[in-house]
Amino acid sequence: MSIDYVRDGRIVTITINRPEARNSLDMAHFRDLAHAWAGFRDDADAWVAVITGVGRDFCTGADLKKFIPELTGDLPQPAGWNKTDAIHAVLHQFPIYKPIVAAVNGVCVAGGFEMLTSTDIRVAVPEARFAVMEPKRGLFAGGGSTVRLPRQMPYAFAMELLLTADMVDAERALAMGLINRVVPVDQLMNTAYEYAERIAVNAPLAVSATKQSAVEGLALDLQSAYANETRHSDRIFATQDAKEGPRAFAEKRPPQWQAR
């Protein structure tokens, strides 16, 4: 099957469509997912992305039956593959300063979990399950989880997930602060799109700068983070959209964002 990429207006939907392999990723699918993220990043008309899966799994990470043999040369590597694709597919050190909403339709473990930590807003079905998983296989979660989780949620909860590698259900993930909402399966995509639409009515440059400032600030000391925030603020206040917003408010009409 495939990695599906669809843009409808300002919102992109990226779907991992490989249910026969529990939405795991071999080299070809890592490559295609990395290309989908790059396409979203580079498309000026795409303002928000929603990532989801087909079937009962969101993403179960690398396809160990195919990926490792491909990596070691026991199976042929697909055309166009390079070693950074797996890193870029889970958004490890591949910054996209546009909002990403995760619609978690099922099991989200290993590389799928690591990709989840790269998203900004997370909606899940009650049947969703979450786990870091790698330590149970003698592996290391090197796609950003050990860096992101302690910055995104209370330290003790982050370390519980990282060290036990145990599976947690959606309600536990919600209580930990890993996800935003739990909704019935028939409401999952509508809820994810509602978040995306609420974001997409805002000025895209302001939204992007807000995310960038927040992400960059996590790696800076407090004073440096404030200085970085000021740089982003100065840049946004100099845009045409910064003039359009107050003007539209005064004229009691919806703003017409130009992304400039």
In angstroms, rounded to a whole number, what is the distance separating the alpha carbons of residues 226 and 22? 43
Quote the tokens at residue 244.
């359009």
> Do 65 and 20 meet the contact criterion of CB atoms below 8 Å apart?
no
- What positions carry a catalytic annotation? 114, 134
In angstroms, rounded to a whole number, what is the distance separating the alpha carbons of residues 245 and 241? 6
Q: What angle do CA 172, 176, 178 make, to 5 degrees?
A: 95
DSSP strand pairing (107-109 vs 168-169):
unpaired
For residues 143-169, b (16+ Cβ closer than 10 Å) or e, as one string?
bbbbbbbeeebeeebbebbbeebebbe
C-beta neighbour count of 121 within 10 angstroms: 20
Q: How many CA atoms lie within 13 A of 166 on its CB side?
A: 9
